[in-house]
Amino acid sequence: MDDVRAALRAARLFGASLGQELWSVSIIFVGLSSILGSLNYITTIINNRAPGMTWFRMPLSIWSLFITAILGLLALPVLSGAAIMLLFDQIIGTHFAPRLAHHPAEHLRIPVSDRANSANRLPPNST
């Protein structure tokens, strides 16, 4: 997940090349196809159940597909909208995501424990 977030951040920070624009378009297509797939699962489960198959007689695997499709239908439009806004930032020049003047990892401080660092310390100067 961190790799995807870093790639999105890099596309936003350093301007868009053709490869980054195509990457954003592919993310939009993946989101759109997942939304349409979720709609397909939901309508198929609701409309094409066997005669006499009530909601509580459906197998657990069908329930899991149904709930997963509902969750995908709730989450993916938001993510696709963010990908569309990123593409608009790259192509049209809108300012949904402002460009940063520094590297995104510049604020990170990696703590080093004293035990790990003590092997690299020089003894105090005795002169």
Yes or no: say if 69 and 42 are a contact pair by the CB < 8 Å rule: yes
Cα 91 from Cα 83, distance rounded (Å): 12
**In the chain, what are the helix, strand and coil shares in percent, each to the nearest 5?**
65, 0, 35
HSE (CB half, 13 Å, CA atoms) of 112?
Answer: 7
Q: What is the pLDDT along the chain (127 residues), one digit of tens a residue?
A: 556 566 555 555 555 578 888 888 999 999 999 999 999 999 999 999 888 899 999 999 999 999 999 999 999 999 999 989 888 888 887 877 766 556 556 566 655 555 555 555 555 665 5
Query: Taking the CB of residue 85, how many other CB atoms lie within 10 A of it?
Result: 15
